[in-house]
Amino acid sequence: MEYKSTRGNIKVTSTKALIEGLSADGGLFVPIEFPKVELNLKEFMNKNYNELAFFVLKNYFNDFDENTLLNCITKAYDDKFDTKEIAPLVKKDNFYFLELFHGKTLAFKDMALSLFPHLLKEAKLKENIKKEIVILTATSGDTGKAALEVFKDIEGVKIIVFYPSKGVSNIQKLQMITQEGENTYVFGINGNFDDAQRAVKEIFSDVQFNEKIAKRGYVLSSANSINIGRLFPQIIYYFYAYINLLKMGEISEDEYINIVVPTGNFGNILAAYYAKKMGLKVKKLICASNKNNVLYDFLREGVYDVRRNFYTTISPSMDILVSSNLERFLYDACGEDEKIIRNLMKDLKELGYFSIPENYRDSLKDFYTNFADDDETYFEIRWAFLNLGYLIDPHTAVALNVYKKYLKDTGDDTKTIIASTASPYKFVSSVYKAITLKEPYADEFELSEELSKLTNTSIPKQIVELKNKRILHNDVIDKEEIYNVINDLLKGD
Ligand SMILES: *Cc1c(COP(=O)(O)O)cnc(C)c1O
């Protein structure tokens, strides 16, 4: 499969796209075509997660021979996950939660990042790259840890992570700053996720810098969802969820479903959109935002405007105003016209907003969109616990709230999957507050103990183990220093 840039005439193989992450012209890589899939029950009924993964990914990564891809998949989805199902679909009342947090770091980022390093390693072999790969990662809290965990002590790789020092949960922060591994570097920044992502993207497209570090033996890559190695493995679980609905007898063959996704960088919902393009029977994609509701305005009005307040919310992994992956959707919506995309992105950079041409607004109708503020999010966590007997994290609560708004607005009774993106214990202070209506009075570990007793749920062992880990990464830097920090780390010997 070939991939092309959303902004120009660059075309590359999947292995090149995996390594480069972002296209040299600043665009994102998209496949030149989307393989079509027919899900017939007889054939798919007995496929496990790995078999389905292979089926979904084989056309996207056909530069690898099939055994290589199979091996990567086998190594990715194994007992690192705490359930054999990998991504269980949990029915509570009339709600279907697709639990995507059973991997090592307790958020959905593990779903793709468990596979990504294996793909990257094979791509490096195939492209005969001898240079050391430097994974530059901006994180809103969850990607950072998931990427650190899979790349720690991998030979020929360094990983550098930037997180908003005041914009993540304490558990998220602890997970990152206690990261072990000789090749891991973690920096808090005085700024938000957008600042980190912008700085990192600028460095990717800085030709001079890339040439300079190439001479020192380094090549940059990305573990953010701008990388196809992050994005495409996220398609698998939407197919998997559909098959599970079929197997549970909740839908019949060819029945349509809806999918709700709590959205920040537009990666996870784009994967659902791609699943739909591949033929998955999806009626509505429901885009759930928190108070940073720039996508809500865009999907309703066609104008994307970042000239607004940035809010720090209790769903921090969605505290984002500049959603990178929207560019891939726009490319699709605007008839794959890279000139239009270049103009829109230029407007965004220079004016702080863009407006999608009137005649290309049709595909916005694929989406329903709404948002939930913090009070509604707290309410929903409590509601789900009291009414469904189910403990959810704040991001999932945003999705649940928006789904309820959808039900109210439309009365649509189509079976609907809610992407459940993180373990509630990653955001224990907020969850504790929602359930008890009391201010958190102690540290996260004590609160976890209490929440566990109150709700009769178990604390994930990763959280328990965190308590005794040493802090290894103390640095907090200004966003203007990101370039220099990277440059210093990559000094020649
Ligand atoms: C990253 C993340 C999101 C947002 O996903 P995007 O792909 O950035 O839209 C939602 N919830 C959680 C828990 C996350 O970690």
- DSSP states along 362-412: GGGGGEEEEE--HHHHHHHHHHHHHHH-----HHHHHHHHHHHHHHHHH--
Please say if the pLDDT value at position 492 is more than 70: no
Give the C-alpha distances (Å, rounded to integers) separating 374 from 142, 189, 288, 490.
19, 24, 13, 41
Q: Which long-range contacts (CB under 8 A, 24 or more apart) does 381-384 make?
A: 381/424, 381/430, 381/431, 381/434, 381/435, 382/434, 382/435, 382/437, 384/92
Alpha carbon distance 427, 424 (integer Å) = 6
Over residues 433-448, the mean pLDDT reads 97
Alpha carbon distance 28, 418 (integer Å) = 27
Of residues 44 and 419, the one with the higher pLDDT is: 419
pLDDT bucket at 55, cuts 50 / 70 / 90: very high
Is the C-beta atom of 395 inside 6 A of ligand 1? yes
Is the C-beta atom of 230 inside 6 A of ligand 1? no
Q: What tokens were used for 262?
A: 């709590």
Alpha carbon distance 278, 361 (integer Å) = 21
- What is the chain's mean pLDDT, rounded? 96
Element spanning 13, H or E: strand 11-13
Over residues 458-486, the mean pLDDT reads 96
The residue whose CA has the least distance to atom 8 of ligand 1 is 265
Alpha carbon distance 308, 292 (integer Å) = 9
The residue whose CA has the least distance to atom 14 of ligand 1 is 317
Is 414 exposed, middle or buried, given 0-12, 13-18 or 19+ CB atoms closer than 10 A? middle
Is the C-beta atom of 164 inside 6 A of ligand 1? no
Q: Which residues are catalytic?
A: 109
Count the neighbouring beta carbons within 10 Å of the beta carbon of residue 224: 27
Count the neighbouring beta carbons within 10 Å of the beta carbon of residue 399: 31
Please say if the pLDDT value at position 375 is more than 80: yes
Is the C-beta atom of 113 inside 6 A of ligand 1? no
Is the C-beta atom of 263 inside 6 A of ligand 1? yes
pLDDT bucket at 295, cuts 50 / 70 / 90: very high
Whether 16 and 128 have beta carbons less than 8 Å apart is answered as no
Distance 395 CA to ligand 1 centre (A): 8
Q: Tokens 């999947």 belong to which residue?
A: 14
Q: Which pTM does this prediction carry?
A: 0.97
Please say if the pLDDT value at position 493 is more than 90: no
Distance 13 CA to ligand 1 centre (A): 27
